[in-house]
Copies of this chain bind each other. A is one copy, B any other.
C-alpha cells in the first residue's frame, strides 16, 4: 500500500510530491490531506507536515491554516510574474553557460532532449514537461551558478503549475525545437545568440498561455501516486 519511493524523509517526500506536481499527476487544487499522504508513504503526520511546509515555501502548495494543504493554483498575476522573473534570470545565465560549456555538458543536454522526445513518444507529456524544465535548470548549473539554479528550479516548477492552469495549445508542447536551437548556440560558444534564443523561448512560452483563467479540475492524491 506504500509508495515505491525509498526515501521516506521529509525531503524525500517533498521531492516526490514536487515531482508529481511538476509532472501534472497532481493537478492544481488537489487536496493533500496529512493523514492520506502519511498513509501513502507510510510515515506519521509529523514528517508529512515538514514536507508540506517545504512545498508551501516553494509555492507549490497552498497551506491554509486549519484547513489543509492544496496544490497551488497560480493566479494570472503570479503566472506573469513567474515568467518575468525567469526572463531576468535565464537569458544572461544561458550566455554564461554558452561561454563555459564543456563537451560532457553538451552530451548531457543532448541526452536530456532525447529523453524528452522519448517521453513524448511514449505518451507521457507530464514527464516530458518535467524533463524540459530540468533542461533549464541544467543550464544554470553549467553556468556554475548554484544559487541561480535553485531559483530557476523553483520558477520552473511553478511554471509547470501555470501551464497546468493556463496552457491553451492542447497537445502540442513542442519545446524541443527551441531547446535544440539553444544547444546548437551553446555548442558554438555563441553566448549572445544563446541569450537571445532563451529570451525568445521564454517569451514564446508566456504568449502560449491563455491568461483568462482556464481551470482544470483537481485530481485525486491516491490516483496520482498509486494506492
Residues of A within 8 A of B (CB): 10, 49-50, 53-54, 57-58, 77-78, 81-82, 84-85, 88-89, 92-93, 145-148, 151
Contacts and interface: CB of A to CB of B under 8 A. Distances in A.
A36 to B, nearest CB: 20
A77 B148 CA distance: 12
A207 B10 CA distance: 39
Which 3 interchain pairs have the tightest Cβ spacing? A81-B147, A57-B57, A85-B148
12 contacts: A54-B57, A57-B57, A77-B146, A78-B146, A78-B147, A81-B146, A81-B147, A84-B145, A85-B89, A88-B89, A88-B148, A151-B151
A103 to B, nearest CB: 24
Report copies per complex: 2
Contact of A53 (B54, B77, B84): B54
A85 B53 contact: no
Contacts of A145: 81, 84-85
A99 to B, nearest CB: 14
A160 B58 CA distance: 22
A146 B75 CA distance: 13
B81 A92 contact: no
Contact of A147 (B49, B85, B148): B85
A181 to B, nearest CB: 22
Contacts of A58: 57
Given A53-B50, A53-B54, A54-B53, A88 B93 contact: yes
Given A81-B145, A81-B148, A89-B89, 6 more contacts: A10-B53, A78-B147, A84-B147, A88-B89, A88-B92, A151-B151
